[in-house]
Structure 1
Amino acid sequence: MLKGFKDFIVRGNVIDLAVAFVVGVAFTAVVTSIVENIFNPLIAAAFDADSLDNSLVLTLGDAQLKFGAVIGAVITFLIVAAVVYFIFVLPINKMKEHAESRRKAGVVEEDAPATEIDVLTEIRDLLAKNNMRP
């Protein structure tokens, strides 16, 4: 019974899921901090965001339609999306593009593991070398 539990815990996908969860929580904290401490004060200064939830209210009988709250949620979403894109996605994509261009140019980093193409190229070269001997 303990062996089965151990096998379950050390399986690669469980470990990957745990790491992804921890990184996601840390990522959420960073994005939330950026939005709350930088962008929300800017919005508050520009649009009087403290009262945005209570602005543009349409009353229909007992119901209240709070268009200002919806606009505030849309603004928050756009800010979070912009923070995620410009601080995380864009730099990572640039790093990937740089690494890909270096790989295409034939620049191999010393610590880079050999790829299947590298191994196949070595095998082809060795076979060609051995077949050339008299």
Structure 2
Amino acid sequence: MSEKKVGLVEGFKAFLMRGNVIDLAVAVVIGAAFTQVVNSVVKGVINPLVGAFGTQNLDAYSSCLKGPCRTVNGTEEGIRIMWGSVLGATLSFLITAAVVYFLMVLPMARYLARKAARDAAKEGTKEVVELSELEVLKEIRDALVAQSRGGSAGTGPDSAPGSGKGFGGS
């Protein structure tokens, strides 16, 4: 029974120590802090700009769908549509999305594209180097085969550099 508990504890520890779980926890903490920044921008910048045309409190913008919207004896009459709240939430979302895209996603995409281009360039030069080394090795092989036959290197149809022929008839 103690083995099962150790196995569960070890399994839970392994789950927590996986990179994606820790990355997710960091993302949640940063996201919570980032939400406060966005809310401050909306309250400190967006709402005063909207307030230049009306009221600074976006929640105050509403329309009445049915009947007169008024409060009588603490009871709300009519059906009030709070479109100002929706507008405020939409602005918060758009600001958050723009900041995340322009400050995080776009730079990371550019970095990864440059890294992929560098890696592709390295692979291209590596293949060229490997091909030239292969050609040199073929020439050395052909020279050795020609020497072992008693002829000179580079003579005969089987010993042409890069032909791949001459040793074992390949």
Q: Normalization by structure 2: what TM-score? A: 0.54
Listed as ranges, the gaps of 5+ residues in structure 1 are: 109-114
More strand by share: 2
Q: Distance in 2 between matches of 1:87 and 1:120?
A: 35
Matched with 2:87 is: 75
Partner of 2:20: 13
User: Which residue of structure 2 lines up, in the alignment, with residue 31 of structure 1?
Assistant: 38
Q: Moved runs in structure 1, 4+ residues, more than 6 A?
A: none
Shift in Å, 1:128: 0.6
What is the Cα deviation at residue 3 of structure 1?
2.3
* Matched AA of 1:126: V
Matched, 1:42 2:49: yes
Q: Which runs of 5+ in 2 are unaligned?
A: 1-5, 69-75, 140-170
Higher helix proportion (structure 1 or 2): 1
Q: Which residue of structure 1 lines up, in the alignment, with residue 101 of structure 2?
A: 89
Asked if the contact 2:38–2:95 (Cα under 8 Å) also holds between the matched residues in 1, the reply is: yes
Identity percentage of aligned residues: 26
Does the CA contact (< 8 Å) of 1:31 and 1:84 recur in 2?
yes
Q: Deviations over 1:43-102 (max 9, x none)?
A: 2332124486375335549752113x22x0232133213312443323445535654675
Distance in 2 (CA, whole Å) between partners of 1:76 and 1:82 is: 10
CA distance in 2, matches of 1:46, 1:73: 16
AA at the equivalent of 2:45:
I
Q: How many residues align?
A: 123
Larger radius of gyration between Structure 1 and Structure 2: 2
One-letter amino acid of the counterpart of residue 6, structure 1: K
> What do you get for the CA RMSD once the two structures are aligned?
3.3
Alpha-carbon distance in structure 2 between the residues aligned to 1:66 and 1:15: 44
Q: Which has the higher contact order (CA 8 A, sep 6+)?
A: 1
Name the residue aligned to 1:127: 130
Matches within 5 A, 1:93-108: 94-96=106-108, 98-99=110-111, 102=114, 108=118
**Normalised TM-score (structure 1):** 0.66
